């Protein structure tokens, strides 16, 4: 269990380094830390709520270090995104079956919008115009491209799937 958390911390550390190493101009950015956070909560088992809370705090720390904004803002925004994702997955019909990129993509897009709105506090007029304009769509497309690649890598290597449709008498 400790090895798993160490691996998660190292993965977030590498994501933060990649995020800092790839320069983007203007308000656009590539957020590998957010992408990793979303992939981890998307594939979370139903009963691992404490683990996801810890993952949100670890991701918030690395976002705080890489973006130099308020830690609490990142923590609250990631916890809101986690709650939104779990609520949305409860309403999706196929959520009990294999995880699909068709579930992942819209949830990532909405979660990324929530993240961008919360991560740039206090708001200014330039940023609001950016979020409502084409610049945000381009930034979303960049991040979604890498998120879908991460989705398939994670699904291929780590995800075994859950068969929740059958009755489980013994754990």
Banded pLDDT at 86 (limits 50, 70, 90)? confident
Question: What pLDDT was estimated at residue 58?
Answer: 92
Residue range 106-112: average pLDDT? 94
* Residue 50 within any structural domain of the chain: yes
Query: pLDDT: is 9 or 4 the higher one?
Result: 9
Residue range 7-19: average pLDDT? 91
Nearest-Å Rg of the Cα atoms of the chain is: 16
Residue indicated by tokens 């949100």: 56
* Residue 151 within any structural domain of the chain: yes
pTM of the model: 0.84
- Tens digit of pLDDT for each residue in 125-166? 666 666 667 778 888 999 999 999 999 999 998 887 654 444
For residue 9, pLDDT over 80 is answered with yes
What's the total number of domains in the chain?
1
Residue indicated by tokens 């904004």: 69
* Residue 164 within any structural domain of the chain: no
Question: What pLDDT was estimated at residue 166?
Answer: 47
* Residue 137 within any structural domain of the chain: yes
Q: Quick one: how far is CA 36 from the chain centroid?
A: 6
The torsion angle over the Cα atoms of residues 18, 140, 155 and 76, rounded to 10 degrees, is: 80
For residue 168, pLDDT over 60 is answered with no
Question: What pLDDT was estimated at residue 28?
Answer: 64
Query: Which residues 6+ apart lie within 8 Å of 27 measured at CB?
Result: 126, 127, 130, 135, 139
* Residue 163 within any structural domain of the chain: no
* Residue 65 within any structural domain of the chain: yes
- Tens digit of pLDDT for each residue in 27-78? 567 889 999 999 999 988 776 678 888 999 999 999 888 776 778 888 888 9
- Residue 138: domain span: 2-20+28-157
For residue 25, pLDDT over 50 is answered with yes
Question: What pLDDT was estimated at residue 143?
Answer: 93
* Residue 170 within any structural domain of the chain: no
* Residue 85 within any structural domain of the chain: yes
């Amino acid at each position: 269990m400790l090895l798993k958390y160490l691996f998660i911390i190292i993965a977030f550390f590498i994501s933060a380094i990649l995020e800092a190493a790839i320069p983007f101009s203007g308000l656009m950015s590539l957020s590998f830390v957010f992408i990793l956070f979303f992939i981890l909560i998307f594939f979370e088992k139903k009963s691992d709520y404490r683990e996801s809370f810890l993952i949100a705090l670890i991701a918030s720390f690395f976002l705080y270090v890489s973006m130099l904004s308020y830690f609490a803002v990142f923590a609250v925004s990631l916890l809101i995104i986690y709650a939104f994702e779990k609520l949305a997955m409860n309403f999706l019909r196929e959520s009990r079956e294999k995880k699909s990129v068709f579930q992942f993509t819209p949830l990532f897009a909405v979660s990324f919008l929530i993240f961008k709105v919360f991560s740039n506090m206090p708001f200014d007029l330039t940023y609001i115009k950016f979020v409502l304009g084409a610049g945000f769509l381009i930034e979303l497309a960049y991040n979604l491209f890498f998120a879908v690649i991460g989705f398939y890598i994670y699904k291929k290597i780590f995800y075994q799937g859950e068969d929740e449709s059958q009755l489980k008498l013994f754990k």
